[in-house]
Structure formats: structure tokens, C-alpha cells
Amino acid sequence: MTEAIQKSLRESPLARWTAMVVVSLSMFGAYYFNYAGSSVKPLLETALGWTSSDIGLYTGSYAWFNVFLFMLIFSGLILDKLGIRITGLGATAFMVVGTGFNYWAMTSLSPHVANTMLSIPLIGQVKTQVFLSCLGFAVFGIGSEATGITLSKAIVKWFKGKELALAMGLQMSIARLGTALALAVSLPLAIKFTYSTPILLAFVLMLLGLVAFIVYTVLDKRLDASEKDIVVEEEEPFRVKDILSIISNKAFWYIAILCVLFYGAVFPFLFYAPDFIINKYHVSPDFAGLIPMLLPFGTIFLTPLFGSIYDRKGKGATIMIIGAVMLLFVHSFLAVPWLNNWIIAAILVIILGIAFSLVPSAMWPSVPKIIPEKKLGTAYAVIFYIQNVGLLFIPMILGYVLSASNPAVFPNKALIKSSIEQSFNKVLAENNIKPNTKLLRIAIDKTTGRVVDSIVHTTYYQATPQKDVNTVQLKNNIINSNLSAVKDIHLANSSKATLDALGKTFTMATYPLIKKEKLNIRYNYEHDILIFVLLGVLSFIFALLLKLEDKKKGYGLELPNMEK
């Protein structure tokens, strides 16, 4: 028996850690794409005319098929029936297809088609472009969640009885590098090039992720071949009715609910974090993503550390309670209106990163202590399903609340864009210049973005009540000011340089009018942050209930993972 065990490939540290790294790369691009779209929220508003409610709908659409068509549950059943390799290859292919469709929807529709309203059951009236982008993101979500549960089972397969929590922590760290990349570079890339550039990068990363999983399948086959002669205890085949034994476990429900509450207080926060940082802390859009980037970047190092502590010392339930308390602390201080210095925001995000390292590092390795291995695929699928319910509704609620509590912001941004667009068209028409449609659209978007960013980033004023704003007069004033600013400029063509020069001139002419009018174009996130505070309170309650249930049933959540 000893000789047979030594033949197993998983006994080789080099082999099992190589497998962990390779399989984790398939999720790197997924985590990037999750935040690439939401990170460019300001540009989606100015370039595509998406409202905060549209963006909330788009963000939540990730979970459409997983929740309403139960695709996550089917993914778990498929994983337990067909195994890691087939499920993982299909899942990564879904991510490629969904990302490609999303990019097409955001870039290839004419303005007329894109803005045509559709009536969708359960959703209501929604722009065609928003809906098609949602469909692409939803298809991606099928693959992303299926890949997530596949990776969890793959790590258990290679590391059970060994450095399981450390391996899961490192796997999450590699994936979260994608989150850090999205938060750091998506908005600057979109500002420099166009709003769709971050989505194109996501598609390339999805293709690389598919290649990475193909490489992993080779390693997994070698593992199975190395263990073909090992005598193991025969397991009963998985049966659908085993789902009942999973959902009847109280500790399982505590973990699942803690998962949806905790992740619901972190992931949607990151979706809106760059825009929140810009609006509350007056940080430049070029750098706004660097503050929320501290969260996933910190978890890259801390999650494996806390996972290693759990492996060797135990205290998994206690770790989850500490993380929930820190989550509540952070969101409570983010909600304080007068704490509006970016340094405070950076410190709070770092603390949130520590919390986000503590809870997952203990939560995911605790599931195998509660659920038998043959049911793990389905158990993880049910947890991910419940998490997806939260990730479907929480962003939608946040988007709706943001729009409802800031009713004047989007219309005012649209007014600025319309004024600038008409200014471009009038100047070009007066000079008998027929512009390149794509270059003109980019110039209008960038000019609008510069005006809005200049106000939000550098200008402080108490906004004029919307009822006191004469929008028609303001629009005319902007157009007249822009035309006057370029009356002595001779325009010979519609090159990119010419359009950029016009855009800079319009920015300089428009900015003082917006500042003088004190137009409200800054979002107040106070109500949204209070929602996160509530989620923090509930997270603490369910983490405490989990510890009490473990003490009662003796699952061993407070015991080390590594076998002596």
C-alpha cells in the first residue's frame, strides 16, 4: 500500500503545486472581466448613455442563467457525474463565447438599434444594447461559476489531507490578480483608447484561460493514471436525492448564507468602488481604481497566509467571525459623510482586504468537513447558486437606489454630452467637413468625460437644486460658448488631431459654465453604503451561528486541516 501511495502524482509537491497554478490561470481572466465593465461606469454613462440602473442590471445579469435556469446546480451535477476535465473545458469555452458576445453587443450596434427599447418580462423596458450586453455577461456567468466549482473540486482532489486551505488561498490569489488588474487599468485604458478596450482585453484573457485548462487536463490525466492501482474505499455513486442530505444540513446553510452576505458586501462594492471613490473622495479617474485595487492585491498575499494558519492551527469558524466584524467596521466608516479624505478610504479598503482574506480562506476549506467528498461538486454548486442570487439582486438594488437617490445626475450628464455633440456638429458643418463617424464619437465621449471628470475631481460646490436649473438656457449657453471659442480657428480636415483640438477647446469653454451653474453631476453613495452596512451586520450573525453549530455537531471547523 505504501508503494502505491508513493506512485501517486499528488505526492509530488512540484506536481500538485504546478497543477494548482495552471488550473488557477483559467480564472484569472474571469475575475478581470467581472470588474472590467463596472470599472468603466463613468464612460458607459457618457459614451453609451447607460444609467446607473442600466449598469446595475448589467452587473446583476452575470447570474441570470445561473439563478433562473439553475445552471449552477446542473453544473454541479455534471461535475460530479462527468468529472473535472469535461466540466472545466465546457465551462471555460462558455466564458470565451460570453465575453465575445458581450464585446460585440457593446461595439457593433448602430445608435438607433442600440437605443431601441425592449420590453423584457420581469425586467421591464430596457435598451437593446443593454439587454444584449447582459445576455453576453450571463453566458459568461454560466462558465465562470462552473469553472469556480470545478476548480474547488480540483484543488480538493490534489490537496486533500495536505495544504488544502493554503492551496485554495493561492488559487484565489491568482484569480484576484485579475480583479486587481481590472480595477487598476480598465478605466485608464478606456479613457486613453475607448470604453470597449478593457472588454477586448478580457476576451484575449478568456482565450488564454481556455488554453490553461487544456494544459491542466493533461496533468489531471497523469494524476488518474498514477493512481489507477491504488486501493481506495469504494464510494457510492452520486444520486440526485443526495441534494436533500446537503440542503438539510444546518451548518451548510449557515456557510451558504454567510457566503452570499459576505460576498454581497464585497463584490458589488468593488463593482461601484472606482465611481464611489471619484465622487466621494475627489480622486482622479486615472487613479481612482488604485484604491479599490488595494483590496484584491492585499488578498493575494493574505489569503494564502490565513489559509496556511487554518491548515496548521485550525480556528476556521473564529476566523470567519473576525472577518465579518472587520467587514462591518469598514462599511460603517465608509458611510460617515465627513470622512472624505482619500487616505481614509485607502486605509478602510486595506482593512476590507484583510477581512476578505480571512473569511474565504476559512469558509471554502470548511465545506469538505461538513459535506462528503462525493457530494462536494453539488455542495459547492448550491453555495455558488445562493451566492449568485445575491450577486443578481444586490447590484440591481444598488443601481436602482443610486439612480433614485440621485435623480438629476444622469440627465445632467446627458445634457452636457448633447451640448458638446451639437457643438461638434455645428462647427464641422460650418467648415464643410464630413467627419469619420467613429473618430467623432470617440472625440465627443472624451470631451464629455473631461468636463464631467474636471467637475467631480477638482471642483467643490453645493449643487443647485434641479428645479432651479434652466436646462434649455444652459444648453444654449454651452453651445454658443463653444462656437465662440473656435470662431477664429481654421479647420481643414476631420483628422483625429483636429477633433482632439476641438474637444480640448470645448472642454475649456464648457467647464466654467457648469461650475457657475453649480450643476449636479456628482453621485452621493450614502444610501448604497448603508445597504452594505446591513449586509455586514447579517454576516456577523451567521458567522456566529456557524460557530455555535460546529460546537454542537463537532464538524471540526476549529481543528487544523493537515493530517498529523
In a domain, 560, yes or no: no
Q: What is the DSSP string of 142-209?
A: HHHHHHHHHHHHHHHHHHTTSSHHHHHHHHHHHHHHHHHHHHHHHHHHHHHS-TTHHHHHHHHHHHHH
Closest-CA residue to 551 (of 251, 347, 114): 251
pLDDT, residue 564, reads 54
Question: 27 has which bridge partners?
Answer: none
pLDDT, residue 203, reads 94
Query: 244 pLDDT exceeds 90?
Result: no
Query: 543 pLDDT exceeds 50?
Result: yes
Taken as a whole, the chain contains a residue count of 564
- 239 against 190, higher pLDDT: 190
Query: 527 pLDDT exceeds 50?
Result: yes
In a domain, 395, yes or no: yes
pLDDT, residue 385, reads 83
Distance (Å, whole) CA 41 – CA 186: 10
Residues 454 and 548 in one domain: no
Distance (Å, whole) CA 380 – CA 372: 12
pLDDT, residue 3, reads 43
The alpha-helical segments, DSSP class H, found in 461-525 are 471-485, 496-517
pLDDT, residue 387, reads 85
Q: Which residues of 166-204 are buried (b: 16+ CB within 10 A; e: fewer)?
A: bbbbbbbbbbbbbbbbbbbbbbbbbbeebbbbbbbbbbe
Mean of pLDDT values over 208-222: 91
In a domain, 5, yes or no: no
Residues 368 and 469 in one domain: no
Distance (Å, whole) CA 142 – CA 221: 25
314: left (phi over 0), alpha (psi -120 to 50) or beta: left
Residues 27 and 84 in one domain: yes
Residue 453: pLDDT band with limits 50, 70, 90: confident
User: Which residues touch 309 (CB under 8 Å, ≥6 apart)?
Assistant: 315, 319
pLDDT, residue 239, reads 59
Residues 211 and 97 in one domain: yes
Residue 397: pLDDT band with limits 50, 70, 90: very high
Query: 421 pLDDT exceeds 70?
Result: yes
In a domain, 559, yes or no: no
Residues 418 and 535 in one domain: no
In a domain, 275, yes or no: yes
User: Which residues touch 374 (CB under 8 Å, ≥6 apart)?
Assistant: 80, 235, 236, 238, 242
pLDDT, residue 183, reads 84
In a domain, 4, yes or no: no
Residues 400 and 413 in one domain: no
Residue 56: pLDDT band with limits 50, 70, 90: confident
Residues 413 and 490 in one domain: yes
Residue 2: pLDDT band with limits 50, 70, 90: very low
Q: Write out pLDDT tens, residues 116-159.
A: 888 888 777 889 999 999 999 999 999 998 898 888 888 888 88
In a domain, 3, yes or no: no
Residues 299 and 443 in one domain: no
Residue 563: pLDDT band with limits 50, 70, 90: low
pLDDT, residue 157, reads 83
Residues 529 and 479 in one domain: no
Environment class of 437 (CB within 10 Å of its CB; exposed 0-12, middle 13-18, buried 19+): exposed
Over pLDDT 90: what percentage of the chain? 30
202-205, long-range: CB within 8 Å, 24+ apart, which pairs? 202/29, 202/32, 202/33, 202/36, 202/99, 202/103, 203/96, 203/99, 203/100, 203/103, 204/29, 205/28, 205/29, 205/32, 205/33, 205/178
pLDDT, residue 347, reads 92
User: For the CA atoms of the chain, what is the radius of gyration?
Assistant: 26
Q: Report the CATH number that the domain containing residue 369 is assigned in CATH.
A: 1.20.1250.20
Amino acid of residue 29: G
Query: 1 pLDDT exceeds 50?
Result: no
Query: 241 pLDDT exceeds 70?
Result: no
Residues 72 and 93 in one domain: yes
Residues 79 and 180 in one domain: yes
- 226 against 104, higher pLDDT: 104
Enter the pTM of the model: 0.77
Q: Write out pLDDT tens, residues 257-273.
A: 999 999 899 988 988 88
Residue 240: pLDDT band with limits 50, 70, 90: low
Q: Write out pLDDT tens, residues 455-498.
A: 887 777 788 898 898 999 999 999 999 999 887 777 777 777 88
Mean pLDDT of the chain, nearest integer: 85
The whole-angstrom distance between residue 9's C-alpha and the CA centroid of its chain comes to 35
pLDDT, residue 369, reads 86
- 3-state SS assignment for residue 282: coil
Domain interval for residue 317 = 22-228+250-406+524-553
Cell numbers at 173, concatenated? 490569489
The highest-confidence range among 164-173, 227-236, 392-401, by mean pLDDT, is: 392-401
Q: Write out pLDDT tens, residues 57-96.
A: 898 898 899 888 888 778 877 887 888 889 999 999 999 9
Over pLDDT 70: what percentage of the chain? 95
Give backbone dihedrals phi and psi of 127, rounded to 5 degrees, phi first. -65, 145
pLDDT, residue 356, reads 84
Q: Is the dihedral of CA 285, 286, 291, 295 positive or negative?
A: positive
Residues 306 and 260 in one domain: yes
Number of folded domains that form the chain: 2
In a domain, 243, yes or no: no
Question: 120 has which bridge partners?
Answer: 124
Q: Write out pLDDT tens, residues 329-355.
A: 999 999 998 888 889 999 999 999 888
pLDDT, residue 7, reads 64
pLDDT, residue 235, reads 46
